[in-house]
């Protein structure tokens, strides 16, 4: 059997990221943001490998952010780890409950139902004046064990936390794919009936994967909220979920690192489009994305794979 | 030379002129953020961008009337960088950081959406960059927090609602049935809550017959108009803006909504140049401050109307006024700081110190940075009634409300002030 090089490569990537963040301070914010979104896309990758397209990951992304936000805003909790854990738990719990319903659906029904659920959250948040309606509210600056993670001089600590979190999640996902339950993903995508005949419950497996994706989206949302310092219901809007699906396709499902790479490239292209064509950035972004899809149909990760092969 | 070419050529000539000056003094670079795409671009974003371009060029040429006749900011030419405000708060925070870190702007002026303003304010504080909000309305910014680097040269949305209620009391003192139609999002909720509280305080006998909250950007308001018509409301309040407001006018007028009740459109002024006489007579309109038809006949206003019309072939609407006001505010603060610094280039802290509690002249009259520890502007405002004269929609029966009557005093939250002080 070929030696598993992914863990050592991921750890090398972590070291490289930490060094890059040290020498390029102006890219820390974008990097942290890309990891926050990348975590959500990592959850989508799991679902995609199982043959499911969720157009409603914004639900958990937003829920995680609001869980962390309300805790920070109304109870004054600023400890990043606590907020991330609470966000993951809240999103995971919601996914466990909604998963009972969703695990029975496939294809377009799964996609549309997940989208509808996230729009319900959007609608509720828009109506809640105490949470600032569409204006949302600000999050206090996060801390870790009483030490500030962001200040005027440096956002490096938060970037480090995000990198560690991202690599840890990617590693965990990598090992998960090697467990029996993880290996069921492509099997379910290819032929559910055979999986059932093998003695596994497809419904239970889908449910578990949906909860994992929900937890990742919740943590990603909380991390994004902490980075940006502001959250609003737009996070649950269908365009946000659509962006995640788009980034997932752009990244490709080839590796657990792909979502983070794809997410960063997407943010990078978008920010340069804003800067260089303020009047037509959508056109520039769309063109760039279209070219990537046309020339790299298996996603950005195929570039990495091609070189390795 | 074709007319289409004149503008780009003039722009590039201005750029060459500006770069020639730049050798003497480094330009003052301003990041300008307004909607360049999406629903708010047409009514707000583009007039604001036009206003910014016009003012920056005029200042660089020394073509503005007194007290702004000096070139640029105290001799330093102004350079503008534009960013689209579309895309939501996460992207705006990201682009704000880019403006400061990668584009090295000296100040940022912008933000129409209240959500964006709320999100940007703490980031401005973290980045320590002078940031001037020109349009967003939520009073939460300086009432829930205090900032050193953030200023807002436009008044809050509370003023619009309170003045609208005062105007209703003057023109319809015997009205008892009041209704509202506002968009189902923060701006709509806040506007209606303020108006409802103000009208109940000013006219205790009124009864709210219905409050319609259709979806933001719905476009079709047939059902809501029916509800308003059957409610028998004498006055209808609406903070609709842009395409939604135009849709309400175009769909409501043929069905008699505007003849049956007095409709108050708090942002109605932006539709006037475009819809003209299709805005029915008797409609009450506001401009979120003393702008457009409500602006005083001062030299800055005359300059703005004339040069804006010459260049864009349309009357300037309030976003152009508010953008002009924001840039002139920085200029006034900059030059005051420069004078205090013995004529030398002031640093950012000195500009901020002179901006706090500043009084300066804008196209809408005197602006006082009176609230939020000297960071939030107050102005008077006005409302008027539309009348058709010789095929033109004009504003008549204009009433002015001085700043102190329509804004809370320092340290009092707008929400509490509306409920208690107006009685």
Cα dist from B219 to B185, B240, B241, B418, whole Å: 15, 11, 11, 31
Strand B392-401 versus strand B381-389 pairing type: antiparallel
- Cβ contact B245:B40 at 8 Å: no
- Token reading at B32: 């300008």
Element (H, E) at A164: helix A156-176
Which residues in B lie closer than 8 A to residue A281 (C-beta atoms)? 37, 84
Residue A182 placed within a domain:
yes
- Token reading at A40: 């959500």
Going by C-alpha positions, the residue among A137, A134, A138 that lies closest to residue A125 is: A134
Q: Looking at CA atoms only, how far is residue A304 from chain B in angstroms?
A: 28
* Interchain proximity B184–A126, CB inside 8 Å: yes
The mean of the pLDDT values for chain A is 92
Residue A148 placed within a domain:
yes
pLDDT of residue A278: 86
Residue A291 placed within a domain:
no
- What span, in angstroms and rounded, lies between the C-alpha atoms of B198 and A190? 63
Mutate to test the interface with A, among B8, B52, B90 (most CBs of A within 10 A): B90
Closest residue to B89, CB basis, from A127, A136, A267: A136
Taking the CA of residue A306 as centre, how many other CA atoms within 13 Å lie in the half-sphere pointing to its CB? 8
Q: Looking at CA atoms only, how far is residue A296 from chain B in angstroms?
A: 26
Query: C-alpha B145: how far from its chain's center?
Result: 21
Closest residue to B189, CB basis, from A129, A152, A229: A129
- What span, in angstroms and rounded, lies between the C-alpha atoms of A180 and A200? 10
- What span, in angstroms and rounded, lies between the C-alpha atoms of B186 and B111? 15
In the three-class reduction of DSSP (H, G, I as helix; E, B as strand; rest coil), residue A290 is classed as: helix
Which residues in B lie closer than 8 A to residue A279 (C-beta atoms)? 36-37, 82, 84
- Cβ contact A89:A214 at 8 Å: no
* Interchain proximity A228–B93, CB inside 8 Å: yes
Which are the contacts of A44, defined by CB distance < 8 A and separation ≥ 6? A54, A57, A213, A244, A245, A248, A259
Beta-bridge partners for B365: B362
Residue A20 placed within a domain:
no
pLDDT of residue A90: 97
- Cβ contact A56:A117 at 8 Å: yes
* Interchain proximity A138–B118, CB inside 8 Å: yes
Q: What angle, 0 to 180 degrees and rounded to 10, lies between the N-to-C axes of helices A202-228 and A80-102?
A: 150
* Interchain proximity B98–A274, CB inside 8 Å: yes
In the three-class reduction of DSSP (H, G, I as helix; E, B as strand; rest coil), residue B372 is classed as: helix
Q: Looking at CA atoms only, how far is residue A65 from chain B in angstroms?
A: 12
pLDDT of residue A308: 60
> What mean pLDDT comes out for the span A214-224?
97
Going by C-alpha positions, the residue among A191, A196, A217 that lies closest to residue A46 is: A217
> What mean pLDDT comes out for the span A6-15?
92
Residue A271 placed within a domain:
no
- What span, in angstroms and rounded, lies between the C-alpha atoms of A269 and A267? 6
Give the number of A-B residue pairs with CB atoms closer than 8 Å: 104
Helix, strand, coil fractions of chain B, as percent rounded to 5: 50, 20, 35
> What mean pLDDT comes out for the span A8-36?
93
Which residues in A lie closer than 8 A to residue B37 (C-beta atoms)? 279, 281-282
Q: Is the pLDDT of residue A309 over 80?
A: no
The better pLDDT of the pair A288, B16 is held by: A288
Q: B24-50 as b/e, with b when 16 or more CB fall inside 10 Å?
A: eeebbbbbbbbbbbebbbbbbbbbbbb
Q: Which residue in the block uniquely carries the two structure tokens 């640029």? A: B72
Going by C-alpha positions, the residue among A46, A45, A155 that lies closest to residue B127 is: A155
Which are the contacts of A172, defined by CB distance < 8 A and separation ≥ 6? none
Which chain B residue lies closest to A155 (C-alpha atoms)? Answer: B126
Going by C-alpha positions, the residue among A103, A54, A113, A96 that lies closest to residue A203 is: A103
Going by C-alpha positions, the residue among B126, B13, B399, B122 that lies closest to residue A231 is: B122
Neighbours of A147 (CB within 10 A): 8
Closest residue to B95, CB basis, from A135, A234, A271: A271
Burial of residue A197, with CB atoms counted within 10 A of its CB: 0-12 exposed, 13-18 middle, 19 or more buried? exposed
Strand locations in chain A (E): 137-138, 143-144, 147-148, 230-231
- What span, in angstroms and rounded, lies between the C-alpha atoms of B92 and B307? 31
Which residues in A lie closer than 8 A to residue B102 (C-beta atoms)? 26, 275
Question: DSSP secondary structure string, A215-279?
Answer: HHHHHHHHHHHHHHSEE-GGGGSHHHHHHHHHHHHHH-SS-TTHHHHHHHHHHHHHHHHHHH-TT
Q: How many domains does chain A have?
A: 1
Cα dist from B245 to B39, B106, B269, B279, whole Å: 12, 36, 11, 11
pLDDT of residue A55: 95
Q: A242-255 as b/e, with b when 16 or more CB fall inside 10 Å?
A: ebbbbbbbbbbbbb
* Interchain proximity B126–A152, CB inside 8 Å: yes
Q: pLDDT, tens digit, for every residue of B298-323? A: 999 999 999 999 999 999 999 999 99
The better pLDDT of the pair A307, B15 is held by: A307
Residue A286 placed within a domain:
no
Going by C-alpha positions, the residue among B33, B341, B407 that lies closest to residue B333 is: B341
Which chain A residue lies closest to B95 (C-alpha atoms)? Answer: A271
- Cβ contact B167:B284 at 8 Å: yes
Going by C-alpha positions, the residue among A282, A285, A252, A254 that lies closest to residue A268 is: A285
* Interchain proximity A278–B36, CB inside 8 Å: yes
Q: What is the CA radius of gyration of chain B?
A: 21
The sign one gets for the Cα dihedral B242, B248, B250, B253 is negative
* Interchain proximity B118–A267, CB inside 8 Å: no
* Interchain proximity B138–A135, CB inside 8 Å: yes
Which are the contacts of A178, defined by CB distance < 8 A and separation ≥ 6? none
Mutate to test the interface with A, among B45, B49, B186, B197 (most CBs of A within 10 A): B186
Beta-bridge partners for B81: B31
Residue A208 placed within a domain:
yes
Cα dist from B28 to B15, B50, B105, B323, B396, whole Å: 14, 19, 8, 17, 41
- What span, in angstroms and rounded, lies between the C-alpha atoms of A64 and A235? 10
List domains and CATH numbers for chain B. Answer: 3-155+295-378 (3.40.50.2300), 158-287+380-420 (3.40.50.2300)
pLDDT of residue B202: 94
Following CA atoms B334, B336, B340, B343 in sequence, which dihedral angle do they give, to the nearest 10 degrees? 60
pLDDT of residue B22: 44
Q: Looking at CA atoms only, how far is residue A195 from chain B in angstroms?
A: 42
Average pLDDT per 10 consecutive residues for chain B, totaling 423 residues? 50 50 76 94 93 96 92 94 93 94 95 93 95 94 93 94 96 95 91 94 94 90 95 96 93 95 94 92 95 94 96 94 97 96 94 96 95 94 95 94 93 89 76
Question: DSSP secondary structure string, B37-90?
Answer: SSTTIIIIIHHHHHHHHHHHHHHHHT-SPTTS-SSTBTTBPEEEEEEE-TT-HH
- How far separated are the first and last CA of chain A, in Å rounded? 17
Domain of residue A44: give its range.
Answer: 28-237
Residue A23 placed within a domain:
no
| Ramachandran region, residue A7 (left: φ > 0; alpha: ψ -120 to 50; beta: rest) | alpha
Q: pLDDT, tens digit, for every residue of A144-167? A: 988 888 887 788 999 999 999 999
- What span, in angstroms and rounded, lies between the C-alpha atoms of B103 and B96? 10
Helices (H) and strands (E) in chain A — how many of each?
A: 13, 4
- Cβ contact A80:A142 at 8 Å: yes
* Interchain proximity B90–A281, CB inside 8 Å: no
Strand B207-212 versus strand B235-238 pairing type: unpaired
Strand B365-371 versus strand B376-378 pairing type: antiparallel
- Cβ contact B307:B266 at 8 Å: no
């Amino acid at each position: 059997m070929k030696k598993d090089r992914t863990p050592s490569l991921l750890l090398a990537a972590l070291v490289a990221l930490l060094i890059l963040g040290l020498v390029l301070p102006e890219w820390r914010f974008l990097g942290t943001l890309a990891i926050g979104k990348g975590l959500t896309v990592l959850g989508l990758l799991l679902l995609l490998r199982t043959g499911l397209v969720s157009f409603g990951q914004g639900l958990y992304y937003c829920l995680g952010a609001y869980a962390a936000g309300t805790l920070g805003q109304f109870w004054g909790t600023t400890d990043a780890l606590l907020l991330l854990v609470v966000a993951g738990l809240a999103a995971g719990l919601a996914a466990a409950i909604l998963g009972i319903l969703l695990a029975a659906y496939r294809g377009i029904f799964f996609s549309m139902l997940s989208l509808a659920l996230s729009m319900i959250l959007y609608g509720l948040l828009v109506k809640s004046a105490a949470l600032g309606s569409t204006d949302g509210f600000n999050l206090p600056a996060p801390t870790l064990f009483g030490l500030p993670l962001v200040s005027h001089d440096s956002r490096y600590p938060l970037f480090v936390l995000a990198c560690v979190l991202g690599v840890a999640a990617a590693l965990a996902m990598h090992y998960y794919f090697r467990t029996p339950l993880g290996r069921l993903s492509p099997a379910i995508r290819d032929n559910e009936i055979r999986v059932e005949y093998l003695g596994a419950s497809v419904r239970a497996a889908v449910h578990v994967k949906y909860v994992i994706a929900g937890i990742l989206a919740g943590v990603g949302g909380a991390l994004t909220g902490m980075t940006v310092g502001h959250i609003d219901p737009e996070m649950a809007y269908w365009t946000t979920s659509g962006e995640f699906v788009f980034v997932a396709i752009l990244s490709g499902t080839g590796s657990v690192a792909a979502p983070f790479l794809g997410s960063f490239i997407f943010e990078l292209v978008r920010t340069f489009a804003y800067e260089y064509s303020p009047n037509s950035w959508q056109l520039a972004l769309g063109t760039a994305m279209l070219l990537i899809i046309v020339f790299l149909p298996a996603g950005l990760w195929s570039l990495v794979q091609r070189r390795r092969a | 030379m074709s007319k289409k070419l004149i503008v780009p050529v003039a722009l590039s000539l201005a750029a060459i002129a500006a770069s020639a000056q730049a050798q003497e003094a480094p330009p003052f670079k301003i990041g300008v953020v307004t909607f360049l795409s999406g629903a708010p671009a047409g009514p707000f974003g583009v007039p604001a961008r036009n206003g910014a371009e016009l003012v920056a060029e005029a200042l660089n040429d020394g073509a503005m009337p007194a007290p702004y006749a000096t070139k640029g900011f105290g001799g330093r030419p102004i350079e503008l960088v534009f960013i689209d405000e579309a895309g939501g708060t996460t992207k705006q925070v990201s682009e704000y950081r880019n403006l400061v870190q990668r584009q090295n702007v000296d100040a940022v002026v912008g933000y129409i959406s209240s959500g964006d303003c709320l999100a940007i304010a703490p980031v401005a504080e973290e980045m320590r960059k002078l940031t001037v909000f020109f349009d967003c309305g939520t009073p939460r910014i300086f009432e829930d927090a205090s900032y050193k680097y953030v200023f807002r040269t436009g008044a809050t949305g509370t003023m619009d609602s309170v003045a609208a209620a005062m105007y209703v009391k003057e023109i319809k003192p015997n009205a008892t049935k009041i209704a509202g139609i506002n968009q189902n999002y923060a701006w709509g909720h806040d506007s209606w809550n303020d108006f409802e509280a103000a009208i109940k305080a000013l006219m205790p006998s009124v009864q709210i017959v219905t409050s319609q909250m259709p979806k933001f950007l719905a476009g079709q308001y047939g059902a809501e108009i029916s509800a308003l018509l059957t409610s028998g409301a004498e006055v209808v309040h609406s903070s609709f803006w842009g395409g939604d407001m135009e849709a309400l006018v175009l769909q409501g007028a043929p069905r008699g909504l505007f003849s049956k009740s007095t409709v108050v459109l708090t942002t109605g002024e932006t539709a006037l140049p475009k819809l003209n006489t299709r805005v029915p007579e008797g409609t009450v309109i506001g401009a979120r401050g003393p702008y457009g038809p409500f602006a005083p006949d001062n030299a800055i206003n005359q300059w703005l109307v004339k040069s804006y019309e010459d260049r864009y072939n349309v009357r300037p609407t309030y976003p152009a006024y508010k953008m002009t006001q924001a840039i002139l505010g920085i200029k006034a603060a900059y030059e005051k700081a420069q004078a205090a610094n013995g004529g030398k280039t002031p640093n950012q802290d000195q500009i901020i110190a002179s901006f706090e509690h500043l009084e300066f002249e804008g196209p809408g009259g005197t602006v006082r940075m009176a609230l939020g520890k000297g960071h939030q502007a107050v102005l008077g405002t006005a409302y008027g009634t539309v009348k058709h004269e010789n095929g033109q929609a004009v504003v008549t029966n204009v009433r002015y409300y001085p700043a102190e009557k329509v804004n809370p005093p320092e340290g009092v939250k707008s929400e509490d002030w509306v409920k208690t002080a107006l009685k």
